[in-house]
């Protein structure tokens, strides 16, 4: 008893959670209330026509077997407009059957069209919400989450809402049909009606048992299908790597393995679905046999004069027609829990995305900030992806408008994490970033990001024209403005040398351009936004000497026009900077201009030696013998930015 009392609140809470879940799903269809009303009306009309369709056949059977039954109201109503001859009545009743059937088809078509319109309207709203949320989620989520999974949730799982709607419409129509039909059947024969409804308890038990199994199988199948989508997306994205190393056979084997897992998961689901259908069909077959046997017995008794005279062959035919119509809505009602599991599994996966913490949102009193040159200051900034594991510690820096500064350090020193804080992809765990003394958390995110233009290390380009890529941040920029941005970025020369110039179509990933060309287009895109602060991540990483020189010239030309913040581990890029901040293990260990830092013979000098720069000045080569290069300490090459991946997983 005590265990039952403890279980009762748990069941109540689970029931409340299910109710809230379905109400949340239903909220996506509220805007379709007028169509839902029209659909409900058509459902009622369809039920009425279905109920009428049985009687012309039943009356024909009675007319042929025993003659007209004038005492029966249905017989009188159907025969009243027909001629008195038997043939005329039979043909008239057949025409009624045809009219009712055609009307049913038209009503069914209207129901289907309304159902599609309502379903796709809700599906559109779901997909827009998911897409909006995916755009709002921080970069860490997207780097930790396979792209294929996000695509599957957006395209396939979102369709679960439509599936739930279909089940809800079926349940609504079935409940109404069942209620009316039971009343009619009970008025004809209460005993046969109770016998027909004897299948309800075993149907409920069957659907309860299979419902849990089908939900588990549906969830497994969708997860495996998502893995398959992810596998294909990753393979296609790295096709150059696959071909370069001759790993086509291995990738195909991996794809086949994932595909086999997908097929097995769907076969397990279909196996349970077929088992459910077999069990339900057997129960309904047993119920139909009982009704037919007992009904036939009643007809025989009535003909012998020992039973109810109202149970004629035509009445039994009508009853069996209703029985067939009764079992369809009965199956839909008792099987709704099992039928809805596929939609529920998809909707739950969608809500997992929608319920994720957005990490960075506007404060309720966030201030608007007009875009103009401003001083950027970092005030004791610290950041942790996991509590107790700081990636940045006590970062203090002030960057005045028009300055060109750099944050340099070895891999893992915290540069990437610091870059993610500038446009508020993350909020600092400690301290604050400020624009003209205003905490960036007190500024609207959109206004803050209009102050900062990012040029990421990957130089992401879209499969569009060069002009469209440059104008991505300002879609309505004029051709002259686009050319001016390209000139400032040092990209105009190679663009205008192309056959189609700024109309040249860029391939996926910019594969028809060199790395340096992609980087200069990305810089031009950032410059066109008129953002006063330009942040460039590893501007010359992976470039040859010629492209590195071109990028360097472009940056020097911009000096003083914009505030430029470089994130780099290559010191050849930063020699002209007004300030250089040297990061090591998440701290600024040195700061100053290039020449000043070289004179200190510290961490920066060690990095310069390792990169074959000359410690005398930033210009040409220094004469004289070179000293042996001291090996850097393990700590100089190691940093806590390796926790970046762990932070993204969080």
pLDDT at residue 629 tops 60: no
Q: Does pLDDT of 124 surpass 70?
A: yes
Maximum pairwise Cα distance, the chain: 130
Pick the CATH number of 13-354 from 3.40.50.1820, 1.10.760.10, 1.20.1560.10, 1.10.645.10: 1.20.1560.10
Rg (CA), the chain: 37
HEC string for 82-124:
CCCCHHHHHHHHHHHHHHHHHHHHHHHHHHHHHHHHHHHHHHH
pLDDT band at 175 (very low <50, low <70, confident <90, very high): confident
pLDDT score of 636 more than 50: no
Other beta carbons within 10 angstroms of residue 189's beta carbon come to: 21
Most confident among 88-97, 235-244, 333-342, 374-383 (mean pLDDT): 374-383
For residue 240, what pLDDT is reported? 66
CB atoms within 10 A of CB 210: 22
Checking if the pLDDT of 621 tops 50, the result is: no
Cα-Cα-Cα-Cα dihedral of 210, 216, 222, 224, to 10°? Answer: -120
Poorest-confidence range of 75-84, 347-356, 402-411?
A: 75-84
CA distances from 458 to 155, 218, 465, 643 (A): 27, 38, 18, 20
pLDDT of residue 647: 34
Q: Which fold has domain 376-460+532-649?
A: Rossmann fold (3.40.50)
Domains 13-354 and 376-460+532-649 share a fold: no
Which residues make Cβ contacts (< 8 Å) with residue 219, sequence separation at least 6? 345, 348
Question: Is pLDDT of 433 > 90?
Answer: yes
Residue 623: pLDDT over 60: no
H runs (alpha helix) in 335-376: 336-339, 341-354
Question: What's the pLDDT score for residue 588?
Answer: 92
Given a cut of 90, whether residue 125 has pLDDT beyond it is yes
Does 234 have pLDDT greater than 50?
yes
Report, as an integer, the average pLDDT of 206-225: 80
Contact 536, 574 (CB under 8 A): no
Percent of the chain exceeding pLDDT 70 equals 85
Alpha helices in 246-382 (DSSP H): 248-303, 313-334, 336-339, 341-354
Confidence band for 439, pLDDT divided at 50, 70 and 90: very high
Model-wide pTM > 0.75: no
Q: For the beta carbon of residue 295, count every other beta carbon within 10 angstroms.
A: 23
Q: What angle do CA 471, 476, 481 make, to 5 degrees?
A: 60
Predicted confidence (pLDDT) at residue 633 exceeds the cutoff of 90? no
Do the strands 438-439 and 430-435 form a parallel or antiparallel pair, or are they unpaired?
Answer: antiparallel
Residue 225 has pLDDT above 50, yes or no: yes
Confidence of residue 637 (pLDDT cuts 50, 70, 90): very low
What is the arithmetic mean of pLDDT over 67-75?
71
Identify the sign of the CA torsion 167, 171, 177, 182. Answer: positive
Summary mean pLDDT of the chain: 80
Q: At what angle do helices 248-303 and 313-334 cross, to 10 degrees?
A: 150
Spatial distance between the Cα atoms of 226 and 231, rounded to a whole number of angstroms: 9
pLDDT tops 70 at residue 39: yes
Q: Domain residues of the chain, as ranges? A: 13-354, 376-460+532-649
* 309-313, 531-535, 645-649 — most confident range: 531-535
pLDDT band at 538 (very low <50, low <70, confident <90, very high): confident
pLDDT tier at 407, thresholds 50, 70, 90 = very high
């Amino acid at each position: 008893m005590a265990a039952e009392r403890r279980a009762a609140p748990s069941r109540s809470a689970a029931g409340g959670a299910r109710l809230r879940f379905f109400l949340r799903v239903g909220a996506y269809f509220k805007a379709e209330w007028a169509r839902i009303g029209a659909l409900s009306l058509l459902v009622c009309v369809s039920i009425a026509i279905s109920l009428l369709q049985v009687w012309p056949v039943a009356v024909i059977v009675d007319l042929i077997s025993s003659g007209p039954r004038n005492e029966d109201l249905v017989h009188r109503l159907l025969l009243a407009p027909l001629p008195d001859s038997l043939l005329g009545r039979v043909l008239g009743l057949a025409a009624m059957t045809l009219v009712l059937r055609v009307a049913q088809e038209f009503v069914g078509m209207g129901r289907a069209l309304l159902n599609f319109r309502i379903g796709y309207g809700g599906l559109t709203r779901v997909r827009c919400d998911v897409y909006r949320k995916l755009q709002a989620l921080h970069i860490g989520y997207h780097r930790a989450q396979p792209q294929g999974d996000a695509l599957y949730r957006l395209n396939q799982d979102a369709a679960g809402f439509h599936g739930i709607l279909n089940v809800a419409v079926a349940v609504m129509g079935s409940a109404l049909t069942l209620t009316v039909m039971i009343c009619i059947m009970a008025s004809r024969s209460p005993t046969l009606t109770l016998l027909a409804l004897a299948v309800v308890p075993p149907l409920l038990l069957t659907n309860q048992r299979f419902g849990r199994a089908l939900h588990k199988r549906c969830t497994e199948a969708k997860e495996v299908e998502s893995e398959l989508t992810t596998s294909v997306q990753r393979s296609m994205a790295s096709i150059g790597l696959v071909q370069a190393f001759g790993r086509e056979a291995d990738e195909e084997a991996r794809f086949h393995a994932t595909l086999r897992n997908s097929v097995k998961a769907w076969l397990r689901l279909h196996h349970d679905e077929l088992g459910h259908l077999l069990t339900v069909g057997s129960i309904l077959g047993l119920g139909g046999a009982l009704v037919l046997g007992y009904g036939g017995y009643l007809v025989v008794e009535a003909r012998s004069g020992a039973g109810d005279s109202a149970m004629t062959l035509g009445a039994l035919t009508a009853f069996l027609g209703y029985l067939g119509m009764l079992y369809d809505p009965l199956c839909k009602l008792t099987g709704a829990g099992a039928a809805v599991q596929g939609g529920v599994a998809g909707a739950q996966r969608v809500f997992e995305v929608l319920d994720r913490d957005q990490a960075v949102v506007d404060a309720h009193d966030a201030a608007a900030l007009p875009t103009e040159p401003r001083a950027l200051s970092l005030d004791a900034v610290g950041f942790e992806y996991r509590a107790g594991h700081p990636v940045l510690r006590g970062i203090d820096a002030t960057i005045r408008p028009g300055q060109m500064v750099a944050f340099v350090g070895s891999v893992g020193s915290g540069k990437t994490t610091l870059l993610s804080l500038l446009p508020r992809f993350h909020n600092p765990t400690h301290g604050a970033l400020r624009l003209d003394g205003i905490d960036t958390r007190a500024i609207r995110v959109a206004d803050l990001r209009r102050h900062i233009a990012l040029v990421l290390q990957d130089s992401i380009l879209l499969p569009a024209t060069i002009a469209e890529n440059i104008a991505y941040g300002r879609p309505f920029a004029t051709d002259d403005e686009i050319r001016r941005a390209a000139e400032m970025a040092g990209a105009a020369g190679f663009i205008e040398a192309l056959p189609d110039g700024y109309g040249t179509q860029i391939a996926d990933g910019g594969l028809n351009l060199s790395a340096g060309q992609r980087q200069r287009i990305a810089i031009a895109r950032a410059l066109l936004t008129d953002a006063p602060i330009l942040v460039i991540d590893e501007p010359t990483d992976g470039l040859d000497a010629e492209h590195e020189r071109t990028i360097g010239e472009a940056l020097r030309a911009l000096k003083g026009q914009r505030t430029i913040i470089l994130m780099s581990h290559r010191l050849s890029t930063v020699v002209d900077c007004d300030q250089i901040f040297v990061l090591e293990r998440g701290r600024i260990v040195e700061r100053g201009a290039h020449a000043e830092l070289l004179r200190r013979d510290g961490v920066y000098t060690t990095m310069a030696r390792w990169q074959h720069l000359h410690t005398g000045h930033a210009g040409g080569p220094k004469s004289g013998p070179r000293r042996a290069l001291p090996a850097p300490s393990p700590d100089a090459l190691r940093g806590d930015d390796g926790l970046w991946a762990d932070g993204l997983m969080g």
